[in-house]
Amino acid sequence: MRIVVAAVGRLKQGPEAELAERYRKRAAQTGRNLGLRNIEIVEIKESRAQDAGRRMIEESIALANVIPEGAVTVVLDARGENIDSASFAACIQKWRADGRTAAVFLIGGADGLAPSLHDKAALRLSFGAATWPHQLARIMLLEQIYRATTLLAGHPYHRA
């Protein structure tokens, strides 16, 4: 199974990009033995539309186009479920066992995601009620994916 993190916007070179890449690499290395083929990052250009609704639709269409057939879709949403790391790992394990081709995690732009993407999602994931910058949300997601792979591999990284 592939893991795809599709996000509106780009991480500029610097500490945020380095940290995101560090967690992506670690997750990919640990995940290989678990049947996770790759951890991919897809960056979607921010829409230049003047209207917020139009921006959201354009960005959501671009995100929808990266979801492969047979994938499970997860959207990051402040109003979503706030699950613990072990439950998150269990979701990934279940999707893999169910034969899903990919798990695609969607991080929308500043205007959010279209309702159609929320409806398509198997999980609406929240990192709490606080509003997080998209760069930090991506890093936190990649860390949780890495943490999930270590939990599934029995690695001591996770201590709760």
Segments making up each domain of the chain, as ranges? 2-153
Q: Does domain 2-153 have CATH number 3.40.1280.10?
A: yes
Supply the pLDDT for residue 160: 58
Instruction: Give 32-74 pLDDT, tens digit per residue.
Output: 999 998 999 999 999 999 999 999 999 999 999 999 999 999 9
Region 23-39: mean pLDDT is 94
Q: Are strands 2-8 and 38-44 parallel, antiparallel or unpaired?
A: parallel
Average pLDDT, the chain: 94
| pLDDT surpassing 80 at residue 157 | no
Supply the pLDDT for residue 91: 97
C-alpha–C-alpha distance, residues 15 and 19, integer Å:
6
The residues pairing with 3 across neighbouring beta strands, listed in sequence order, are 39, 103
Order of strands, sheet of 2-8, starting from the edge strand that comes earlier in the sequence: 38-44, 2-8, 102-107, 72-81, 123-125
3-class state of residue 26 by DSSP: helix
3-class state of residue 18 by DSSP: helix
